[in-house]
Structure 1
Amino acid sequence: MKKLAPILLSLTLAGSLSLPALAASTTANPPTASSAPASGYTLQVNGTETGLEGCMMVPLRALAENLGFTVTWNGSSIRVDSDRVHTDVTPGVDRYVITTSLDGMVGMSAPFSLGCPPCVSNGTTYVPLALFDALLGSEDAITGDSGTISIQTTPSSQIPNPFVSCTTLAEADEQAGFSLTLPADCHISSLSVVPHTMIQANRADGLTIRKAVGSEDISGDYHPYSQSETVSVSGKSITLKGECQLVMVALWTADDYTYAIQSETGLSRDAMLALAAEVA
């Protein structure tokens, strides 16, 4: 059986998005708010379920800018930013993370997939429509019925901030349910916790140290850096990522936890490894 190709739609935006009809021999059931998400279709042939699902793809820049987002290229990825939340989209990669853009707020979603990777056709980048559900911070932002997709926005649309501020490392350890060991003289400016999930320590110079339950990449930095290597230090297998001989991210796992050090300005290889060796 042939694979279902993504549906590439050129949209005319005027408050609602009109969808073209499919061929008469194939019925696409438009999703409703109470059934399927507005980004996809279940497919029938002559009234019989096929078990196939279609992913609705929309032009990224045209829709994002109509919703008040800015769209900029960052090397091989595309940044979509509302000044409240942002995501980096990479053509061909079905992996997305939504991160807060607000100063003083650090929150991010877990990495997720949407069934179709972004793709480029005739110079236009297309993404799954469901990405805008996540960017708008509501599963009800996009609904569809009777051949029309409707998008409702609110000025405060953003992912909730999951972090709780702490004044001491002991308080952070108690909130998280596990402990974080920081390097000596680390000069932490703020501490926050996702209860029972993550501890985050911030330095005033833009350095962030995180420890969390599990093995996911928790750095919050998913830029495709040109330099990457894995180094063994103090029994840890540490992955370093960066550019121009500066390390921006260090990642590793140990026991049932994952760790990340992320620097906004970059550190030397030796400086990053020295920090990582003391974090536990």
Structure 2
Amino acid sequence: MKKLITITICAVMALTFTACFNGKPEAKDDPQKQINHVEIPNPWVDCENIADAEKLAGFTATLPKTIPEGYTQKSIEAVKDNTVQIIYENGENKIVFRQAKGNDDISGDYNEYKENNTLTVGNLTVIVKGNGGKVNLATWVSGEFSFAISVNPGGKGLDNRAIIDMISSMDTNNA
């Protein structure tokens, strides 16, 4: 009787293993099993200097002359016939300045902020967003161009004064 129970248990285990591993292995060459990954090409082109970025974007950029203390320019990029972007860094902190043709929000910052305000800087109306009294995002339109200053999106921003100083240092009346 013990032999019959042992043989029955072994048979059940063998059938269980067979059932669990009965699926045929996926063929890597099977086109129905392959997932097509389509990537959108990166539109940003690294530029050696601002003149190259302006030439690629198709306009003369209006840049801030005042940058908060400790920040240095790390890169200049452009999107053909559209946008100039300058990235400034101070350790792990980052400021991204953008200018583009048109009047859309060009910031690329889609975070939700608790504080949404409007500042008047000269004759400009600037929308500022942030948390805890700090500004993470400033956007405005001047002439035929949109501008954005994004500071550590979702992280620690800058004081209003630093943002106002950056914007005030620009000659946006000629933009």
Normalised TM-score (structure 2):
0.68
Aligned counterpart, 1:192: 77
Aligned counterpart, 2:50: 169
Given residue 160 of structure 2, which amino acid in structure 1 is its aligned partner? Answer: R
Aligned counterpart, 1:239: 127
What SS is found at the alignment partner of 1:246? coil
**Residues 86-109 of structure 1, C-alpha deviations (whole Å, 9 max, x = no match):** xxxxxxxxxxxxxxxxxxxxxxxx
Preserved contact between residue 250 and residue 276 of structure 1 (Cα < 8 Å)? no
Between the two proteins, the alignment pairs up a number of residues equal to 129
Normalised TM-score (structure 1):
0.44
Aligned counterpart, 2:107: 219
CA RMSD between the two structures: 1.8
Aligned-pair distance for 1:243? 0.4
The reply on whether 1:183 has 2:69 as its aligned counterpart is no
The reply on whether 1:260 has 2:148 as its aligned counterpart is yes
Q: Spell out the pairing of 1:143-158 with structure 2 (5 A cutoff).
A: 152-154=35-37, 157-158=38-39
**Residues 24-76 of structure 1, C-alpha deviations (whole Å, 9 max, x = no match):** xxxxxxxxxxxxxxxxxxxxxxxxxxxxxxxxxxxxxxxxxxxxxxxxxxxxx
Moved beyond 4 Å, runs of 4+: none
Q: Spell out the pairing of 1:90-109 with structure 2 (5 A cutoff).
A: none
What SS is found at the alignment partner of 1:275? helix
Aligned-pair distance for 1:185? 5.5
In the alignment, the residues of structure 2 paired with residue 276 and residue 208 of structure 1 have an alpha-carbon distance, to the nearest angstrom, of 13
CA separation of 1:185 and 1:239: change in aligned 2, threshold 3 A: closer
Aligned counterpart, 2:89: 204
**Residues 217-276 of structure 1, C-alpha deviations (whole Å, 9 max, x = no match):** 111111121101111112111000000111000000011110000000310011111112
What SS is found at the alignment partner of 1:178? coil
For structure 1, the 5+ residue unaligned runs are 1-149
In the alignment, the residues of structure 2 paired with residue 196 and residue 271 of structure 1 have an alpha-carbon distance, to the nearest angstrom, of 30
Q: Which has the higher contact order (CA 8 A, sep 6+)?
A: 2
Aligned-pair distance for 1:184? 2.6
Aligned-pair distance for 1:179? 1.4
Structure of larger gyration radius: 2
Aligned counterpart, 1:79: none
Aligned-pair distance for 1:151? 9.2
Given residue 242 of structure 1, which amino acid in structure 2 is its aligned partner? Answer: G
For structure 2, the 5+ residue unaligned runs are 1-32
Preserved contact between residue 246 and residue 267 of structure 1 (Cα < 8 Å)? yes
Instruction: Give the fraction of aligned pairs with identical amino acids, expressed as a percent.
Output: 30
Preserved contact between residue 199 and residue 211 of structure 1 (Cα < 8 Å)? yes
What SS is found at the alignment partner of 1:267? coil
